A and B are shown apart, each in its own frame.
Chain A
Amino acid sequence: MAATQKLYPRGTVKRIVKAHSNRSVSKNADILVRSFVRDYRSAPNAWLMREASIRSRKSGEKNISANAVRKVTEKTLRKFQG
C-alpha cells in the first residue's frame, strides 16, 4: 500500500484530463480515472509492459527495449480506445 500510494497524483490526473478534453472534470471522476489506471487489467502500462516484454523476449533481448515498447504502443492504445 505504502509503495503505491502516490500513483498518479490526483491533481495531475485531473489536469491532464482537463487539458486534453477541454472540459471540466467533476469532483470524483479523477479518482475513478486514477483507479482505472491502477487497475491491473485496464491499465495501459500493464498491457504495454506485458506486450513489450513478450516482444523483447521473442526477439531475444533480455530487457525491454525502447523499440519493443514503441512497436507495442500502437497495438495497446488501439486496445484501449474507448
Chain B
Amino acid sequence: MSTPNPRNRKSLRDAGSATPSGLQRLPSHTLYPLTPRRLATTATPSRSVSRFTPRGRPAIAPSTPYGRNARQQRAANTPGRDRRRSGRIQRETTFDILKNLGRALAPTTQPIHSSPEEETKPPPKPRDEIEELDEESEIEAPELTLPIQEVEGSEEGSTARSPPRLSLPFDDDDITVEYPRRDISIRDQERLSIMSRNFGRPSDVFQDNQSDSDADEGDETGIVEDDGGEDTMISGGDFDRGGETADLGRFNLVMDFPSPGAMPVEDDMGDNLDETDGFELDAGDIQPVPASPSADENADAAGDFGFNFPPAPSSSVNSGIAGGGLRDDGPNPQSKEKKISRHGIPVPNLPKGIVKKLALRFSGTKAGSKAKINKAALEAIEQASAWYFEQASQDLAAYSKHAGRKTIDESDVATLMRRLVARPRSRRFELLC
C-alpha cells in the first residue's frame, strides 16, 4: 500500500460508491470512470465480458480500423507480447508464413553450410605449409651468409663452447649419483662409432636415452648392489680408454654387455650376432629372456647380472672385438662394406671419387694439385667424413627434435651451419657451387 495509486483509487471509490469493500467490486464501471483508456473501450459491447479475464484488454477486437492498425503495430513492435500468449494463434506475418512453410517442407533439416565453403577451408592449410617451406628456404639464404660475415667481427666461439665446459664439472661432482648416467654414456660410446673416440658430449649421449633413462637407472642401481666383488675379476683389462674407467671398474661388465646389442653399428654384424646368440643361450639356461639383438639392453643387462659367471668370457670377447673395431683399426677393413646406422638403417657410403676429389682440392692449396694422398690416408679421410655425416645428422635430429618436428627441416640445417660457422675464426669464405 505504499504506492500512491491505490490510495487515489480508494479515494475515488470512496467518493463514488462509498463502500469500504470497493476493491472487490472491480467489474463495476463506476470504479474507473476517470481513466481515459477505460473510457475508450467502453464503446465495445463485449467490454463487460472481457473485464473478467485477467488479460481482457488485448482480446477485445478493436472496432475501428485505427484501433486495428494500432494493435497490429504494437504487435509488430513488441513480438515478445505475442510470444507469451502461447495458446493463441498469432497474427501471421510473411516471415511467419515462410517459417511455417519451411517447417512443413523440411521439418528436420539444419542450417546448411554450403559445400564449397568447406572444401575451400582445407586447401589453404597445405598451401600454407608449402608456402612456409618456400618462405623458409627463401629466408634461410640470407641467414647463411649474414652470420658468417657478422661473426668475423664478433667472435662467438666462447659462447658456443660453454656447454661442454659446463658438462665437465657435472660429471665430476657426484660420482655416486652419476653412476647410471655414466653407464649409459659409456654404453653409447660403444654403440656409436663416433662416441667410441671419446668425442661425445654427455648432452649428446643423454639426449637419445632420456626416454629410457628411468628404467635403466632402476635396473642398474640393482646391478650395482649385486656385482660388488666379482666384477673386479672380470673387468681386468677391458677398458683402457680413459681415466674415468678406473673409477667405474666395477661397471665394466655393465658397459660391455650392451655392446653386442649395439654392434650393428659396426660392419661385422654377423659375427657379433652369433656371439650374442651364444651368450644369450648361456644366460638363458636359467632365465629365458629372448633379448632382441637390436634394442632390449635392459633385458640383457638384467639377465646378465642375475648370473655373474657366464658373461665373463663373452664380455672379454665382445670387448676385444668392439674395442678393436671401434678404434683406429675400424675404418680400414670396413670401409668397403655398407654400414648400418645405430637406428638399423643401412647407410650408403660416400663415393670414393668425390672424397678424393675434395681431399685433393683442399689439400693442394699450397703445393699445387700435385699433392698425393695415400690409400690409407684416403680411407682415413673417408672414415672421417662418414663420422662427420653421422655427427651432423645426429645434431640435425637433435635440432628437429627440439623444435618438436619429426622431419629435419632447412631451418635445422641452417641452425647447425650457423653454429658451426660461428666456431672457427674469420677466414676466407667461399661458397663452391
* Chain A residues whose C-beta falls within 8 Å of the C-beta of B385 in the assembled complex: 44-45, 48
What are the interface flags for B326-341 relative to A under an 8 Å C-beta threshold, 1 for contact and 0 otherwise? 0010000000000001
The dominant DSSP class at the B interface is helix
| Contact indicator B372/A63 (Cβ below 8 Å) | yes
Closest B residue to A15 by CB, please name it: B348
A-contacting 9-mer, from B20-28, B168-176, B232-240, B425-433: B425-433
Asked, given contacts A42-B421, A73-B387, whether A22 binds B348 with beta carbons under 8 Å apart, the answer is no
The count of residues in chain B whose C-beta lies closer than 8 Å to any C-beta of chain A is: 80
| Contact indicator A79/B406 (Cβ below 8 Å) | no
A17, A45, A63, A79: which contacts B396 (Cβ < 8 A)? A17
The count of residues in chain A whose C-beta lies closer than 8 Å to any C-beta of chain B is: 59
| Contact indicator B199/A69 (Cβ below 8 Å) | no
| Contact indicator B345/A24 (Cβ below 8 Å) | no
What are the interface flags for A24-54 relative to B under an 8 Å C-beta threshold, 1 for contact and 0 otherwise? 1111110011011011111111111110110
The dominant DSSP class at the A interface is helix
What are the interface flags for A9-31 relative to B under an 8 Å C-beta threshold, 1 for contact and 0 otherwise? 10011011111111111111100
| Contact indicator A78/B199 (Cβ below 8 Å) | yes
A-contacting 9-mer, from B30-38, B39-47, B408-416: B408-416
| Contact indicator B350/A66 (Cβ below 8 Å) | no
* Chain B residues whose C-beta falls within 8 Å of the C-beta of A43 in the assembled complex: 358, 362
16 further contact pairs, Cβ within 8 A, besides A19-B393, A23-B400, A82-B398: A29-B409, A40-B430, A41-B428, A44-B388, A46-B362, A48-B381, A49-B363, A64-B363, A64-B377, A69-B380, A74-B199, A77-B387, A77-B388, A82-B395, A82-B416, A82-B420
14 contacts between A and B (CB under 8 A): A9-B351, A12-B350, A19-B346, A21-B394, A21-B400, A22-B341, A26-B410, A39-B432, A41-B429, A64-B374, A66-B376, A70-B328, A80-B392, A82-B395
Binding site for A on B (CB under 8 A): 133, 137, 140, 144, 148, 194, 197-199, 201, 328, 341-343, 345-348, 350-351, 354-355, 357-359, 361-363, 365-366, 371-374, 376-377, 379-381, 383-385, 387-401, 406-410, 412-417, 419-421, 423-424, 427-433
Binding site for B on A (CB under 8 A): 1, 3-4, 6-9, 12-13, 15-29, 32-33, 35-36, 38-50, 52-53, 63-66, 68-70, 73-74, 76-82
